[in-house]
Chain A
Amino acid sequence: MTIAAEKISPVPAEPLVRARNVHKSFGSNEVLKGIDLDVMPGEVVVILGPSGSGKSTFLRCINHLEAIDRGSIVVADEQIGYELRNGRLHKLSDRAIAVQRRKIGMVFQQFNLYPHMTALENIIEAPVGVHKQNRREAQAYAMELLSRIGLTEKAHAYPRQLSGGQQQRVAIARALAIKPKLMLFDEPTSALDPELVGEVLATMRDLADQGLTMIVVTHEIGFAREAADRVVFMDGGVVVEQGRPEVVLSNPSHPRTRLFLSRFIQRG
């Protein structure tokens, strides 16, 4: 079972995502204070951290939903939002940025499915309308994705007719339909009732197993432990600590990581 379109070679040479010294302020509030992060093809990186640590902002910088103030972000050898011409860096037009985003899938906290379209229409919208795929082929692939997430019978349901967990799984299928090189998950389970979190995490775990490159911002420590290749702990706009999940989660070296994890375990 391979949902990920790109077959990834087992020995990755180059990082797919390279972020260097990323700074971002909202007004006088500096949210990101110099983030460095590389993500290898096929790697699953889970970003943890307290609210306000800048982890969601960083994720949104990767596909230029937020423009960064300083530093650089490169995805698949293209600098996001900018272009090098004659040795100088130029800002890209909105249209060119739109083209860059087309290889990156994104899943939102609030799902953001198009409410006036059925699940199937939601999934084929970008493949047909943006990637100019043949409608019939796009529909066939969409049905394949729906059957993998176990929602074939909901193909013609509108988002409001689905439970939160089902909506988020459709949103994941919608992002996969464009055959992305990279998937970004922005707190995908935070808006869900507790009993619906499991089905979404299970879908994401399947994707991780298939070698899709994923960056996941979440509060689900359990998911980080089971599915992540690497856990990145952010606090106060910087990366405090990163490493294998069993190391960072069980034996954190930094006191702030320790404090964060202990609070989580207390909260249950």
Chain B
Amino acid sequence: MTERTISPSMDLRDVANAHQPIEWGRWLLWAFVLVVAANFAWIVAWNPNFGWPIVAEWFTAESILKGLSVTLGLTVVAMIIGTAIGLMLAIARMSNDTLFSSLAGLFIWFFRGTPLLVQLIFWYNLSTLFPQISIAVPFGPTLVSWNTNDLITPMTAAIAGLSLNEAAYMAEIIRGGLLSVDKGQVEATDAFGMTRGRALRRIIIPQAMRSIIPPTGNQLISMIKATSLVSVIAMADLLYSVQAVYNRTFEVIPMLMVAVIWYLVITSILNVGQGFIERYYARGERGATDVRANVRMEEPA
């Protein structure tokens, strides 16, 4: 024996060669959960009430795909407009200028404080409130004027309702992200004589993205489902198209399964995309530990 010993009965053994105990409890739990899941899948698959052949038949039907494209289109447009307005609101809300910050606060207060469904119905029925929409000097002459009914179609009402509501939520998400960036970063951009806009674009927003993206992913997924509310103003989105079918055929559950599967497919694709975007904005974090180890080796202190 070359090792030194602590006590006569105990050698100093290298822990690298130690045996792992077998975790019977965990394996059993895994097996149990898998069996239950497989059984549940089996029951669902062979339950005739789900009407899987009907699901397969309608899954790629033209009316359903049209509804799907409306859902996706509305989501993308409302999300882009909502994020753009939300970014402006967030910056206005954080501004030192009381006018800007209170206007932004008022907007956020109103659009977060009222149900989206009510907002959509208001937009759709705007013509009953304001038959004419005009650009005019306050208390002065009218410059341009439109008939509200010509402007507000189901499509424009849906886009206006969804994106303004989304803007209010995105404003708070973006503001949270901007607040999460270290104060020293703002100071550095100031000291280097960067303009506010450039500092936001190049330094602050890219760092804020790390905390903006996860809640934005949530918002996007909620938005996909929130678009189903536009069926009340006669927009034929995915859910509306499915309902149109089962109102004729009475195959309620199979048709809802068509919608459910499509919603899950879109959400899964978005989750994968979100993962890629998160990795991109975490690039300064990546590999910090292993490279640091190299640094230490290169420079013996």
Contacts and interface: CB of A to CB of B under 8 A. Distances in A.
Interface stretch (B8-16, B158-166, B188-196): B188-196
A70 interface: no
Interface string B81-113: 000000000000000000000000000000000
A102 B192 contact: yes
A98 B195 contact: yes
A68 to B, nearest CB: 16
A216 to B, nearest CB: 15
Contacts of B203: 114, 125
Contacts of B284: 115-117, 158-160
14 contacts: A65-B190, A100-B193, A102-B192, A110-B182, A112-B184, A114-B185, A116-B206, A125-B192, A126-B193, A130-B193, A158-B286, A160-B284, A163-B296, A166-B295
B26 interface: no
A31 B252 CA distance: 74
B198 A130 contact: yes
Interface residues of B, number: 30
B283 interface: yes
Contacts of B279: none
Interface in A151-165: 157-163
Given A98-B193, A101-B192, 16 more contacts: A98-B194, A102-B192, A108-B187, A112-B187, A115-B207, A116-B283, A116-B284, A117-B284, A126-B194, A130-B193, A130-B198, A157-B291, A159-B284, A160-B284, A161-B292, A195-B301
Given A65-B191, A116-B281, A130-B198, A163 B185 contact: no
A116 B207 contact: yes
Given A112-B187, A162-B295, A163-B299, A94 B196 contact: yes
Nearest to B288: A160
Interface of B: 182, 184-185, 187-188, 190-196, 198, 202-203, 206-207, 281, 283-288, 291-292, 295-296, 299, 301
Of B182, B185, B191, B207, most buried by chain A (CB within 10 Å of CB) is B191
Given A112-B184, A166-B295, A195-B301, A160 B193 contact: no
B193 A106 contact: no
Contacts of A113: 188
A95 interface: yes
B295 A161 contact: yes
B187 A65 contact: yes
A234 B296 CA distance: 38
Interface of A: 63, 65, 94-95, 98-102, 104, 106, 108, 110, 112-117, 125-126, 129-130, 157-163, 166, 178, 195
B292 A130 contact: no
Nearest to B298: A153
A61 B109 CA distance: 38
Nearest to A154: B295
A236 B284 CA distance: 41
B276 to A, nearest CB: 16
B246 to A, nearest CB: 50
Contacts of B296: 163
A107 B218 CA distance: 39
B208 to A, nearest CB: 10
A116 B196 CA distance: 18
A99 B286 CA distance: 35
Given A114-B203, A158-B283, A163-B299, A129 B194 contact: yes
B191 A63 contact: yes
Contact of B190 (A101, A157, A160): A101
Contacts of B185: 112, 114
Contacts of A195: 301
The 10 closest A-B pairs by CB, nearest first: A102-B193, A101-B193, A161-B291, A112-B184, A112-B188, A106-B191, A115-B284, A160-B288, A98-B193, A126-B192
B195 to A, nearest CB: 6
A126 B292 CA distance: 27
Given A158-B284, A161-B287, A129 B198 contact: yes
B94 to A, nearest CB: 15
A72 to B, nearest CB: 20
Contacts of B198: 129-130
A166 B203 CA distance: 21
